[in-house]
Structure 1
Amino acid sequence: MHRSSILTDRQQQELNKAILQYLEPILSDNDKNISLHKSLSDLLLPSDSTTDVSTQPITTTTSNNSINNGNPIVPNYLEKKWSTVLRLQRKIIDLENEVSNLRSIVDGQLSASNGAVSVISKDRINWLPLRASKKFNTQTNQLVLSCKIHPVLPTIFGGCSDGSLIIWNVVNDDTSIPEKIIKAHTRSINKLAFSKEAVNLSNKPEDSRSKSYIVASCSADLSIKIWDSSTYKHLRTLTGHDHTVSSVAFSRTTPHILYSVSRDKSVKIWDLINGYCLKSFVGHSEWVRDIDVISVNSTLSLNNIKASHELGDFIVTCSNDQSVRLSHAESGTGLALLIGHSHVVEKVAFLPSVSNIIVDKYLKDNFSLFPSIPQELLTEPLYSSALGYKYCISAGRDNLLKLWLLPPPTIIPHRSPLPAKVNDSQGWPIADFIGHQSWVKAISIHPNGRFIFSGSDDKTIKIWDLSNLNVTGTVKCVSTLNGHEGFLNDLDFARYNSEIISENGTKGKEGSKAKTPEEEHEELMKFIESRMRCLFISGGADNSIRLWS
């Protein structure tokens, strides 16, 4: 009989015994089959074998669990061996994926100039997800359109296509049973958003014990609903939009103020204490897809700079009209327009101030590539002292992410900001993120401001490293996360506590040496590192939310 070239004699003999063991009950029903079994025994275990078992019957009973001469063969040996092989194969695939992700991270750090590797440190501040550690499944008719991590609790909220709001506890080992399922809307939930701070929506005097984080859900049923994220109690229903409500975002300066955008082309501002719409304005000519909000008070600074102008919130919105619009929230005035996408713009987000040092360095070192940008704009103090924003990221159906420099508005005392005078009130495209093979529909930003996460209809999550701008002149994908079997609809990196550092904290004392921007950035990274949570989730059309580790 032909022997395998990869099995030892002993392994081959054990395999043959397992085959005979498997066949014995099948071939023991008549004399003809018993004769066939005897012939197979002679073939698989020939008489010249070191252990002569050709004339011995095979038994799998507990009293004699062996094949001749006491060589142990456990019951169902062949089936158990096959199950072991499958488990090992699955482990091999997981390890190969992890090695591939690690290799892509290292490759992404290769310097174009000398081939040296700029290794991403393994400090907590540079934590990156590598593989899905938990999977939270929904029902067949519940595509996950939005997912968010609670600001402080270990819970995940998912908004589904059937209008269900589902909550899971990430510390539970059994992911098949949600903590709560709420029939929140009659049609799909398009977006979830958590308040920036714990708030009290009652008209009673502020009571810290009555404060809690609230979550807003917006839907294709034209409504927005407000929920207590701890008790899951329904608090408010906001109505007023004339079409699908696409996205919502909370104010940081006034935590009970909510912004919403809709297919009716409008942006609305809501007071959640009484449920009234305070203002509505139209800035786009088509369906408004997404919104993000920022203010000087939401810009983390070690110098504890106070706003020199009480300008409030600024918002960026994106639309089917293929544009991104920067607006002053309170007045609704359009400040700048970003034109460059060739298809519907699905997502937009302000870059946090901690990202500025990376992009600023690239622009200063490559100023000749951007002749339309005034050089003094790169050091304009208005960005940090009054605006809170400088750059933003957009993503769309042209398979691209784009990095933009936003022009500062015209500031006139005692008046709302006016459109920017420079560059005809248009933003400057700085870099394109090229790599996705289909629509990009989700963006999330790492707390360190260096890494950008994007989710696409190509079923992948890509991690982009902004610092590569200062190495290769492009934003390179340093890792691709695979696992979803359907379109990616939303991503979320757990929020960290971003309270402004107090006077008695890390701020330098009077008379101490002023810190350089690099020293301040390093200290700021330590501050963020001490407060960040290494949790990252994704939700998609494959009826699942995945927790990555």
Structure 2
Amino acid sequence: MPSQILTERQQLELNKAILQYLQPVCSTSESNEQLFRQLSELLVPTSNDSHSDGIVDQYLEKKWSTVLRLQRKIIDLENEITNLRSVVDIAPVKISKDRINWIPMSAIQSFETPNVVNSVRLHPVLPLVYAGCNDGSIHVWNFASDDNSLPEKIMKAHTRGVNKLAFSRNKIDLNKGDEPQYILASCSSDLTIKLYNATTHQHVKTLRGHDHTVSSIVFSSHNLLYSVSRDKTVKVWNVVDGTCIKSFVGHSEWVRDLDVCSGEFGDFVLTCSNDQSARLSHGQFGTGISLLVGHSHVIEAVKFLPKLSNTVIDSFVTSNSELFPSLPIELVKNDVYEKLGFKYCVTASRDNTVKLWLLPPPTQVPGRPPMPSKYNQAQGWLIANLQGHSSWVKSLQVHPNGRYLLSGSDDKTIKVWDLNGLNIDGSVGVIRTLSRHQGFVNDIDFARLAKRNEDAKDGSEDVLKDVEARMRCVLASGGTDNVVKIWK
């Protein structure tokens, strides 16, 4: 029966290709050869020429390979359509095209590693992206280079997986007399933290002291390094001499992640744990200030929000005071937060949600370290619940303008949230979804701002202009598909 899809010429070519493919198989016995001749008469009855006339060698195999390539292209195009549709679906919310409101659209570069990527970090100044891998290595690429077939550097850092990378916020002189340099730190399941010169990539120190997997690390603006571990401790390190200057326990289970904020009263540390809570502590003394309870699963990531976020969220909270009966509204306007350096934070969990919190200030007693907050029984106020991911949320980043929040998840996507949605419909909605990874998104990193303009004033408009001038519009991501992506 003639094909209803193929033309007569296409059907003849297909028949010849089938015979070409079967000929070597049917040459094994006389009975098979007889069957092959019968098939030849059936499939190409009007041709007295060889069945392979006009057909290139391995025609059927080559056609099949072409189909596979086309299927791969279709998948890539479908992913791109998904990204574009997510932008269209946000109407009537409009995304400004100003540089200060830049958010990534598509991945412009992809770098493959031999192993799962657990952490990605962008260099504070240079166009370099670092990937901490599950085999203990750190791969370094120059994303401004024309030839990215091979990494610029592969550092054999640890004997087990690299769990997190961190850059110092300032240049540090680890060896007296040398020129100060940015420091790269890596932590691992081999219980160690290693420090590297971020310019030469030379190993300079190894920090030992944790009794179990070191989960995460972060530098403070005071050049101290903070680390958290499965041994339930938070440790504070002097990176110059390599000593642990403070260790304290704030959680009952594995401590997963942390963030540090510095103010007039020293460093404050935000940590999260398998015990489903997040904790605010004073860094130098280890005193617990407040607790955040509300997630129903392990909390994977935490982040302080910058001061630029305060105006947007304050407006929502003060306009909807009835939603927060235990929150004194005068506290929202209290100047103490300016001195503390923090006010709001976000947490990401395996319960598929991101939560936005108001942190209560510590109790200040002259001559004593900051004490637990006297507000709300030392517990944070849940301001908003961000729902949109369909699996574990593993990483968080805050946009330099303080308005957008980015989250990476095991649902293979990166979502961009607009905090200003609170003042529109009372919720924080997704304004863009990036979905080019083929595996879990383990980590994301927004490029750090360039060096601050010392002449910039403290007014909100001037701060935004200064941030806009210093913004580096680059996002990096890495995941279980063994790929690092650069988004622009």
TM-score by length of 1: 0.78
The corresponding residue for 2:432 is 479
Q: Distance in 2 between matches of 1:338 and 1:25?
A: 70
Seen in structure 2, the aligned counterparts of structure 1 residues 34 and 479 have a Cα distance that, compared at 3 Å, is same
The corresponding residue for 1:233 is 202
Kindly provide the amino acid, as one letter, of the partner of residue 217 in structure 2.
Answer: V
Q: Distance in 2 between matches of 1:371 and 1:284?
A: 28
1:126 aligns with 2:101: yes
- Deviation of the 1:463 alpha carbon: 2.3
* Moved segments of 4+, more than 6 Å: 23-39, 54-60, 73-85
Q: Distance in 2 between matches of 1:495 and 1:547?
A: 14
Aligned 8 A contact 1:488 1:538 in 2: yes
Aligned 8 A contact 2:166 2:185 in 1: yes
Q: Distance in 1 between matches of 2:97 and 2:9?
A: 46
Q: Distance in 2 between matches of 1:285 and 1:76?
A: 64
Q: 1:312 aligns with which of 241, 254, 266?
A: 266
The corresponding residue for 1:328 is 282
The corresponding residue for 2:245 is 278
Q: 1:502 aligns with which of 449, 454, 459?
A: 454
The corresponding residue for 1:155 is 128
Q: Distance in 1 between matches of 2:76 and 2:465?
A: 33
Q: Which moved more, 1:353-362 or 1:162-171?
A: 162-171
- Deviation of the 1:374 alpha carbon: 0.9
Seen in structure 2, the aligned counterparts of structure 1 residues 25 and 457 have a Cα distance that, compared at 3 Å, is closer
The corresponding residue for 1:135 is 110
Seen in structure 2, the aligned counterparts of structure 1 residues 485 and 101 have a Cα distance that, compared at 3 Å, is closer
Aligned 8 A contact 1:498 1:528 in 2: no
Kindly provide the amino acid, as one letter, of the partner of residue 502 in structure 1.
Answer: E
Seen in structure 2, the aligned counterparts of structure 1 residues 235 and 377 have a Cα distance that, compared at 3 Å, is same
Q: Distance in 1 between matches of 2:22 and 2:186?
A: 63
The 5 Å alignment of 1:372-451 reads 372-384=326-338, 386-451=339-404
Kindly provide the amino acid, as one letter, of the partner of residue 376 in structure 1.
Answer: E
The corresponding residue for 2:118 is 145
* Aligned partner of residue 181 in structure 2, secondary structure: coil
1:492 aligns with 2:453: no
* Aligned partner of residue 195 in structure 2, secondary structure: strand
1:199 aligns with 2:168: no
Q: Which moved more, 1:529-538 or 1:364-373?
A: 529-538
CA deviation string 1:503-534 (max 9, x = no partner): 4x4x39xxxxxx6xxxx24x433322222222
Kindly provide the amino acid, as one letter, of the partner of residue 466 in structure 1.
Answer: L
Q: Distance in 2 between matches of 1:196 and 1:27?
A: 67
Q: 2:217 aligns with which of 248, 261, 284?
A: 248
* Aligned partner of residue 224 in structure 1, secondary structure: strand
- Deviation of the 1:201 alpha carbon: 1.2
1:265 aligns with 2:232: yes
Kindly provide the amino acid, as one letter, of the partner of residue 454 in structure 2.
Answer: S
The 5 Å alignment of 1:152-231 reads 152-172=125-145, 175-204=148-177, 210-231=179-200
Q: Answer 1 or 2: which has greater strand percent.
A: 2
Kindly provide the amino acid, as one letter, of the partner of residue 137 in structure 2.
Answer: S
- Deviation of the 1:371 alpha carbon: 1.4
The corresponding residue for 1:47 is none
- Deviation of the 1:293 alpha carbon: 0.6
1:368 aligns with 2:327: no
The corresponding residue for 1:306 is none
The corresponding residue for 1:289 is 256
Aligned 8 A contact 1:228 1:234 in 2: yes
Q: Distance in 2 between matches of 1:224 and 1:279?
A: 16
Aligned 8 A contact 2:21 2:60 in 1: no
Query: How much is the aligned-residue C-alpha RMSD, in angstroms?
Result: 3.1
CA deviation string 1:203-254 (max 9, x = no partner): 23xx6xx2221111111222111011221100111111222211111011x2
Aligned 8 A contact 1:27 1:34 in 2: no
- Deviation of the 1:98 alpha carbon: 2.5
Kindly provide the amino acid, as one letter, of the partner of residue 165 in structure 1.
Answer: I
CA deviation string 1:233-290 (max 9, x = no partner): 00111111222211111011x22x1111122222111111111111222222222211
Q: Distance in 2 between matches of 1:258 and 1:157?
A: 19
* Aligned partner of residue 186 in structure 2, secondary structure: strand
Q: 2:291 aligns with which of 337, 344, 352?
A: 337
Q: Distance in 1 between matches of 2:52 and 2:158?
A: 62
CA deviation string 1:338-384 (max 9, x = no partner): 11122222211101111112211111221211111111122112212
Seen in structure 2, the aligned counterparts of structure 1 residues 350 and 55 have a Cα distance that, compared at 3 Å, is same
Seen in structure 2, the aligned counterparts of structure 1 residues 25 and 268 have a Cα distance that, compared at 3 Å, is closer
Q: 2:469 aligns with which of 530, 536, 541?
A: 530
Identity rate, percent = 53
The corresponding residue for 1:64 is none
The corresponding residue for 2:86 is 104
Q: Distance in 2 between matches of 1:227 and 1:220?
A: 18
Q: Distance in 1 between matches of 2:360 and 2:484?
A: 37
Q: Distance in 1 between matches of 2:96 and 2:58?
A: 49
CA deviation string 1:133-177 (max 9, x = no partner): 3332222xx322211111112222111222222222223455552
CA deviation string 1:420-454 (max 9, x = no partner): 22112111011111222332221122222222222
Seen in structure 2, the aligned counterparts of structure 1 residues 227 and 35 have a Cα distance that, compared at 3 Å, is same
Aligned residues: 480
Q: Distance in 2 between matches of 1:413 and 1:288?
A: 31
Q: 1:541 aligns with which of 465, 480, 483?
A: 480
* Aligned partner of residue 273 in structure 1, secondary structure: coil
Aligned 8 A contact 1:27 1:36 in 2: no
TM-score by length of 2: 0.87
Q: Distance in 2 between matches of 1:25 and 1:538?
A: 47
* Aligned partner of residue 489 in structure 1, secondary structure: strand
Seen in structure 2, the aligned counterparts of structure 1 residues 16 and 124 have a Cα distance that, compared at 3 Å, is farther
Aligned 8 A contact 2:3 2:11 in 1: no
Aligned 8 A contact 2:388 2:430 in 1: yes
Seen in structure 2, the aligned counterparts of structure 1 residues 35 and 422 have a Cα distance that, compared at 3 Å, is closer
Kindly provide the amino acid, as one letter, of the partner of residue 193 in structure 2.
Answer: I
Q: Rg larger in 1 or in 2?
A: 1
Q: Distance in 1 between matches of 2:41 and 2:274?
A: 75
CA deviation string 1:465-494 (max 9, x = no partner): 212212221222233333333333211111
Q: 1:349 aligns with which of 303, 314, 337?
A: 303
* Aligned partner of residue 231 in structure 2, secondary structure: coil
Q: Distance in 1 between matches of 2:106 and 2:197?
A: 31
Q: Distance in 2 between matches of 1:159 and 1:427?
A: 33
Aligned 8 A contact 1:326 1:336 in 2: yes
The corresponding residue for 1:48 is none
Q: Distance in 1 between matches of 2:229 and 2:21?
A: 67
* Aligned partner of residue 417 in structure 1, secondary structure: coil
* Aligned partner of residue 384 in structure 2, secondary structure: strand
* Aligned partner of residue 424 in structure 1, secondary structure: helix
Aligned 8 A contact 1:203 1:273 in 2: no
Kindly provide the amino acid, as one letter, of the partner of residue 479 in structure 2.
Answer: G
Q: Distance in 2 between matches of 1:123 and 1:58?
A: 64
Q: Distance in 2 between matches of 1:258 and 1:247?
A: 11
